[in-house]
Amino acid sequence: MNSLARALKLMSLPVFLAASMGPATAQQPKWWPNGTPNRLPDRQANFSCLSFKEIARSGDPIIMEALSGIWENDTTMRTLVEATPVHQRVQRFSSGELLYDNSACFASPIGGAPSCSHWGGHGYWTARMADDGSVIFANWLQGTGPTGDPEAPSCASFPLRLLDENTIQFQDGSTVQRTGN
């Protein structure tokens, strides 16, 4: 039995099943906390890198096992020249550690061949169920940026929804696919 199936069986969480969620749109998914996709539950509203350790202690090992693995997606990064496609890959371990890497080819502001870049880093993550059935996900990341220069640690916390065992949907309606374990 895979980790998601174990999580579903152990927790009896019908909210994980796409059929129980009803239709969701990128404009206003029905299941976002407080009915607003841009607002986190009140206890998460003051999240910062300083509070990551505290939030990490509330992680649910069953949910973290279900979200472990390699996840990939394509997104867009705004640059001075144009919107640039970026491929993102994250490998999350059930222990709470993660590795990430991104790649993109940027158009030259003066014309000519694009310049391609590969950057990434490491970090930590945690996840737990929210009262409304979404999953509250938080991460702490540190690595390099597209120029190869080190970046300061960054943190984020947001709700997400598992559409199936290999698809996560974020607040904006975008999805990430599991591509490996």
Place of tokens 């409304």: 132
All residues at 6 or more sequence positions from 36 whose CB lies less than 8 Å from its CB, including other chains: none
Sort 89 into a burial class: Cβ within 10 Å, 0-12 / 13-18 / 19+.
Answer: middle
Domain annotation covers residue 37: no
Residue 120 near residue 102, CB atoms below 8 Å: yes
DSSP state string for 139-166: EEEEEB-TTS-B---EEEEEEEEEEETT
pLDDT per residue over 52-81, tens digit each?
A: 888 888 899 999 999 999 999 999 988 776
pLDDT per residue over 98-110, tens digit each?
A: 999 999 998 887 8
Domain annotation covers residue 14: yes
Instruction: Return mean pLDDT, the chain.
Output: 77
Give how many domains the chain has, as a whole number.
Answer: 1
- pLDDT given at position 160: 94
- pLDDT given at position 132: 87
Average pLDDT by stretches of 10, the chain with 181 residues: 40 29 35 38 54 88 96 88 90 97 88 90 95 92 93 91 94 94 91
* The model scores a pTM over 0.85: no
Range of the domain at 167: 3-18+47-180
- pLDDT given at position 32: 37
All residues at 6 or more sequence positions from 72 whose CB lies less than 8 Å from its CB, including other chains: 87, 88, 89, 90, 176, 177, 179
